[in-house]
Structure 1
Amino acid sequence: MTGIKDVARAVDMSTATVSRALRGLPGVSDETRVRVMETARRLGYVPSPGAAALASGKTRTVAVVVPFVTRWFFAAVVEGAEEVLRDRGYDLLLYNLGGDEAARHRVFETSLLTKRVDAVLVLSLKPSPDELIRLDHLGRPVTVVGADVPGWATVRIDDEQAARHATDHLLDLGHRRIAYVGGAVEGVLDFTAPAARLAGYRAAIEAVGIAPDAALEADGSFTVAGGVRAGHRLLSAPERPTAIFAGSDEMAFGVLRAARELGLRVPEDLSVIGIDDHEMSVIFDLTTIAQPVREQGRIAAQQVLAALTAQYWVPEQVVLPTRLVVRRTTAPPSDG
């Protein structure tokens, strides 16, 4: 089996220089690094991650804590982060909580992350004060995606403003009986988006003198199936809404299916708008508020990588813009 000494002999360099070149450390010229990498590849040398970690104190691994890895938003953010990390020679270690409180406790309140990763990305969870203390004690860069955590590096959109923009679009079309499909605002995982988007919806209708009505608010669990259930509940009411704002495109897809099953035409009988600009939204011709999902993952990865190489690093709070994309699921309410 080829070892690092074999590579060093082939390039006539010390093993220390070869090791630095292979690990991307400073003090090695680009020409030398390329020569070493090409020789190692030709000889079939595969460095041991464990040995490299012991020698340098670095694992070249970034942990990503994900509430639900199977949901589109989280998967897209992870994809964006992984692209950046892979290009810089870092691996991604995924912790999927799966909505489980015990899993969250195991990740944040035990030593699970200690000595296993160089940095941590936290997706759409707002860590509690105790969890922030534990993350701080790790002594590793941390970026939170999708939540506002003062004093920490964050990447997000303004969820409340995005929801107001979506609701304002329906109001501008002339709708006044507007329902909202979102998610539980309280729970063990403490998602930030459901509460913020509900607040934005309420603020928009209150601004034109409409009082929030609990009968027009439904829990869609941020899934397609949840959107179907919520859509049936709202659209089967004696006085159904003329428009529905869904807090995610996936829930909006479910609402569209419910409308079809109930014999309602979109947008003639019902207008529907979502948030995300999911890759399937074009197929559904869904009006939506587009957010740069993969870009949030890319920027978060860039933040922790910058922190790993900088002598002095100030955590940055990045708020990315959203935009209204009008398609064919929204229109003025019919006179009937």
Structure 2
Amino acid sequence: MNKLMVAEDINGTKGFNNPVSLRDIEAAAHLIHKVGRVTPLIQSMFLSRNVTNGEVYLKLENMQLTGSFKFRGAFNKINHLTDAQKARGVITASAGNHAQGVALTSHLLGIKAIVVMPHGAPIAKQEATAGYGAKVVLHGDNFDEAHQFMEEEAAQKGYTIVDPYNDNEVIAGQGSIGLEILDQMWDVDTVIVPVGGGGLISGVATALKSFNPNIHIVGVQSENVHGMTASYKENKITTFSKGKTLADGTAVATPGDITFPITKHLVDEMVLVNEEEIAKAMKDLLQRTKTVAEGAGALPTAALESHKIDAKWLENKKVVALVSGGNVDLEQVSHNIDYFLVSTNHSVG
């Protein structure tokens, strides 16, 4: 990032005090890179030439340890715990990716880890989490119910909570992605990020805007579950969920009280995509770019393909679409492929 000059401090502007600083993110990046990967940034010719008339690059966090960006935040958070907190063991709630990040980090540090996952969490994520040595507890029909049970267990048994998104150290860890993007493409114009509880976009937006406030940042959620988008539009924390979504990793009905204000002040727009658009994006990433993406990881591509983002932020621009994870059940991949093959055959016939 030696080509960049740090922008004026974004903290304290317009009455907004960001609890996560650029220095926090830089420290997290230094820590994470001792173990984690600097993930590739590759150009998608398909999205560039056929979809946007810009230069679209994929930031492949599906190639991070545990197959998701979530390792970053979990690793940074747990490394900041006191010895007493580590000794009591840690607990978290997750649909699967944060669970794996917590499980692997705990394994590396020799810490007991309990992970609460909602019933119906992808089998691949359940098995991977258990495979890293964590105790998996299934509870509730959705993330919010699992999260509430996690809080109850922590209060009763003394475990240390490692929140999946609403935590300063977690946000700082995810923000290390923003620094990597700047290292790999210092003159990026637009960055598109999947959003659940907001930890990822809060960290990435803080890192990017600290160096260049003109970078256009777009958050993407599913039409079915989009608490952050609803909150963004209402200008207050709001709950929204009307069903299940392929983007299970972002199925958070209510954003955090830390992540919401950061997102509101630093993110330029929030857009929604439907389930078929998510499924098509998953299929196209696999077929056209050879990238395995879970539903959440395909959200930015879905937003591009469905033209939910104004062309002025894409045409002749350098665009980064963040593929946040690739932990998807093979059954879901097969279902998507079969669905679109049948659709194509019907349309030809």
TM over 0.5, yes or no? no
TM-score, scaled relative to structure 1 = 0.31
Structure whose CA Rg is larger: 1
As a proportion of its length, which structure holds more helix? 2
